[in-house]
Amino acid sequence: MSNFLRAVIDGVLTGSVYALMAAGLTLIFGVMEVINIAQGILVVLGAYLSYVLSVHLGIDLFAGLIITIPVMFVLGVGIQWGLMRRLGEREKVSMSILVTYAVAIILEGVLDLIFGPGYLQLTAWYVNQSIHVFGFYLPYIYVFGFILAVGLLGSLYFILYRTEFGRSLRASQQNKTAARLIGIDVNRVAAITFGIGVAVTAAGGMVFGATTAFNSNSSADLISRLLTIVILGGMGSIGGAMGASVLMLVIEAIVSTYWSPTWATLVFYMVLVLVLVVRPAGLFGQKAVRAQ
Amino acid sequence: MSALTKTFKSMSKAKLAAVVVAIAVIAVFPLVFTNPTVTEIAIFALMFMATSSAWNGFAGSSGYFSLGHAIFFGVGAYAFTIIANDFKMAPTSALFFLMPVAGVFAMVAAVGVGAVALRTKRHTFVVITIGIFFIFQLLGFNLNVTGGASGLQVPTPSNWNAATFNNPFYYAAAILLGFTVLLYWIIKRSAFGLQLLSIRDDEERARGLGVPVWRVKLSAFVVSAFPVGMAGALFAYLIGQIYPQTVFNPLFDLSWALMTLVGGIGTIVGPLLGGVVLESIQQYLNLYLSNVDIYLIIYGVVFLAVMFWMPRGIVPTVVGAVKRRRGTPTGPTSIATSDDKQPAKPDQTAGLIVTAKGATE
């Protein structure tokens, strides 16, 4: 029983961090109908940025977010402004997959060139020390990461539903033409949305890098998981992404505890396949995947 | 067969001459360039030209943007290796005849993958192919029959002359390429090819017009697995050792997509051009710089440049420019590889991936 409880707690805590990263991905899709394949490598970039700040400048991982979040935000706005904005409306989803894939491999090449293929892990006192709960030890970073993720997801909800910008964003999401007609600068909304969607990877990457050893190659695994989560949650739905993250990581943790960690990853994708066979719109998707 | 000879006859003399020259160049290449490094680069170029053509033959024609075709490469490689090892086959030229068998195994895998993945559309399809791809890679890592992470040893010809060691592989790759191009050249001119294009342009309307949508797209998917599986087998035989991550390689799908798009999606020549240029560059950088990072960066930058400056790919852009200069009337719908006697097909080259209809808004 304690093993089961441990797996569930583990799944919920890591799931919250995945929820944060996936929320960025699905937010971008919801507003612009583009899939950001670079999200995985951007998480890794976030982890490397935190690494540089903590090792070379001695800045605490959480304090460093004050620097890395704005940096990633600007990068996101740059990608939208420089590349995604130029995509035509035709074939937009597929083209966006390719363009962001190209961005991802460029970033991967650059990171590998700078940091090499060796695995790194972020360290701090809360990574090395554990708290004792329910009869097992849990590094503090899992708890702190959970609090951070919940806090940021809360802020995201606040921005979306309680601010003028959030209203513009949701309007653009529902109907771009109508939004433009009532005076919303859709391009600006898109740029800021992409910025926010990428900015969350700074926080996600920091927690990821503190809980997992990573190198530039970790992005392939990350993006596959994030895409799985986003599809299961229904593309564009932040609540769905959160539910799917927690569900999937709890399942993975349970399989990993009772069976083996290698097969746990397999289960991750098996669930995707099974769900899509039964429900092509995803677990929480409202409508069928849009026909062309 | 008469249909085939008719289509041959419909080719212009210049095009026929170009094909003959290309075949001749490929045939004599290893006799002129005997450096094993050069021939190895050439083998990879031929292999990727063939696999890009197969990828384009499915994705470019149907609009289903598969990022899971590396599954078939891996299945082909493992089928080849496991059969050759289990039956203790001698590593001679005869082993090349195992390639089609490996291709059939890949097709069988494609039936299962396609039956699941093709239920979904657009981006969901893209993601589910990635997901199924990772399932296969994980199986490669975890099954006993695949040897797990330590991979499998493939029998290597030991008594072949070192100087011409690569030549049999080279010609096997050349034949694979020839077969694949011919296959897609025929498909493109068949009713089946037109049905595929109709699915790309508007699947619901195609269904309404009586196209057996499910059967057509599944068949196209399965057919495209055959050359890819054979290429996987050839790769295994050439390299001599396979690992899950080298044959179930996620970069393969990206490469095929990039080669196809850079050359021109939906055209016959596009993936050939993209394949020969990009794969040669990749192998060159791999062998001479032994630096994968620079390659990744160059690859990404070239791709972005092509996407934004020549969004239709090199072949359609160049052909369009030449026709405009000559004053031949050409709409945005002209087909790079077709000739004027062909009935007009809607928007074949410009269509990057999914459909000719605009966005949903």
A87: DSSP letter: S
pLDDT for A40 equals 92
Domains located in chain B, CATH noted: 2-326 (1.10.3470)
Residue A285 domain flag: no
Average pLDDT for residues B191-215, to the nearest whole number?
A: 90
- Please check the confidence at residue A48 and state whether its pLDDT lies above 90: yes
Average pLDDT for residues B21-38, to the nearest whole number?
A: 86
Band of the pLDDT at A22, cuts 50, 70, 90? very high
Task: Please give the Cα distance from B50 to A121 (Å, whole number).
Answer: 41
Residue A240 domain flag: no
pLDDT for A288 equals 39
In a 13 Å sphere around the CA of A107, the CA atoms on its Cβ side amount to 26
Q: What is the mean pLDDT of chain B?
A: 82
Q: What is the mean pLDDT of chain A?
A: 86
pLDDT for A286 equals 52
Alpha helices in chain A (DSSP H): 2-32, 39-56, 61-82, 92-115, 125-128, 140-162, 164-174, 176-181, 186-211, 218-233, 238-258, 261-278
The partner residue sitting opposite A106, judged by closest CB among B301, B307, B352, is: B301
Residue B328 amino acid letter: T
Band of the pLDDT at B175, cuts 50, 70, 90? very high
Task: Please give the Cα distance from A41 to A34 (Å, whole number).
Answer: 17
- Please check the confidence at residue A169 and state whether its pLDDT lies above 80: yes
Q: Name beta bridge partners: A137.
A: A132
- Which of A27-41, B51-65, B144-158, B161-175 has the weakest average pLDDT? B144-158
Residue A6 domain flag: no
The answer to whether the CB atoms of A280 and B119 lie below 8 A apart is yes
CB distance B230 to B99 below 8 Å: yes
- Please check the confidence at residue B240 and state whether its pLDDT lies above 50: yes
Q: What tokens does B259 get?
A: 């080669």
Average pLDDT for residues B278-297, to the nearest whole number?
A: 78
Residue of B nearest to A111 (CA): B293
pLDDT for A205 equals 93
DSSP string computed for A148-181: HHHHHHHHHHHHHHHSHHHHHHHHHHH-HHHHHH
Q: What tokens does B123 get?
A: 């981006």
pLDDT for B49 equals 94
Closest chain B C-alpha to A132 CA, distance in angstroms: 34
Band of the pLDDT at B352, cuts 50, 70, 90? very low
Contacts B114 to A, Cβ<8 Å: none
DSSP string computed for B32-87: H---HHHHHHHHHHHHHHHHHHHHIIIIIHH----S-THHHHHHHHHHHHHHHHHT
pLDDT for B161 equals 78
The answer to whether the CB atoms of B308 and A98 lie below 8 A apart is no
Alpha helices in B11-35 (DSSP H): 13-32
Closest to A141 in 3D by CA, of A130, A154, A132: A130
Residue A281 domain flag: no
pLDDT for B351 equals 39
Average pLDDT for residues A202-212, to the nearest whole number?
A: 92
Residue A60 domain flag: yes
The answer to whether the CB atoms of A102 and B353 lie below 8 A apart is no
Task: Please give the Cα distance from A167 to A183 (Å, whole number).
Answer: 12
Using DSSP bridges, classify how beta strands A136-139 and B152-153 pair: parallel, antiparallel or unpaired.
unpaired
For the segment B222-236, what is each residue's pLDDT rounded down to a tens digit? 999 999 999 999 999
pLDDT for B6 equals 63
Task: Please give the Cα distance from A145 to A202 (Å, whole number).
Answer: 12
For the segment A49-75, what is each residue's pLDDT rounded down to a tens digit? 999 999 999 889 899 999 999 999 999
Task: Please give the Cα distance from A83 to B25 (Å, whole number).
Answer: 39
pLDDT for B121 equals 78
Opening angle at CA B122, ends B303 and B184, nearest 5: 65
pLDDT for A236 equals 80
Using DSSP bridges, classify how beta strands B152-153 and B241-242 pair: parallel, antiparallel or unpaired.
antiparallel
- Which of A147-156, B19-28, B295-304 has the weakest average pLDDT? B295-304
Residue A37 domain flag: yes
Phi-psi bin for B330: left (phi > 0), alpha (psi -120 to 50), beta? beta
- Which of A107-116, B61-70, B261-270, B281-290 has the weakest average pLDDT? B281-290
pLDDT for A246 equals 92
The answer to whether the CB atoms of A103 and B300 lie below 8 A apart is yes
Band of the pLDDT at A284, cuts 50, 70, 90? low
Residue A242 domain flag: no
Residues 6+ apart with CB under 8 A from A52: none
Please give the distance of CA A237 from its chain centroid, rounded to a whole number: 13
Q: Please name the residue that has the structure tokens 């200069």.
A: B325
- Please check the confidence at residue B190 and state whether its pLDDT lies above 50: yes
- Please check the confidence at residue B181 and state whether its pLDDT lies above 80: yes
The answer to whether the CB atoms of A99 and B307 lie below 8 A apart is yes
What is the number of CB-based contacts under 8 A between chain A and chain B? 156
Closest chain B C-alpha to A53 CA, distance in angstroms: 24
Average pLDDT for residues B335-356, to the nearest whole number?
A: 39
- Domain that includes residue A33, residue range: 15-217
pLDDT for B150 equals 82
Band of the pLDDT at B53, cuts 50, 70, 90? very high
Tally the domains of chain A: 1
The answer to whether the CB atoms of A265 and B131 lie below 8 A apart is no
Q: Rounded to 10 degrees, what is the CA torsion of B12, B14, B17, B23? A: -90
pLDDT for B76 equals 95
Residue A284 domain flag: no
Residues 6+ apart with CB under 8 A from A278: none
- Please check the confidence at residue B200 and state whether its pLDDT lies above 60: yes
Residue A133 backbone phi and psi in degrees, to 5: -135, 140
Band of the pLDDT at B70, cuts 50, 70, 90? very high
pLDDT for A200 equals 92
pLDDT for A125 equals 85
The partner residue sitting opposite B352, judged by closest CB among A91, A104, A266, is: A91
The partner residue sitting opposite B297, judged by closest CB among A88, A110, A290, is: A110
Return the higher-pLDDT residue of B216 and A272.
B216
Band of the pLDDT at B358, cuts 50, 70, 90? very low
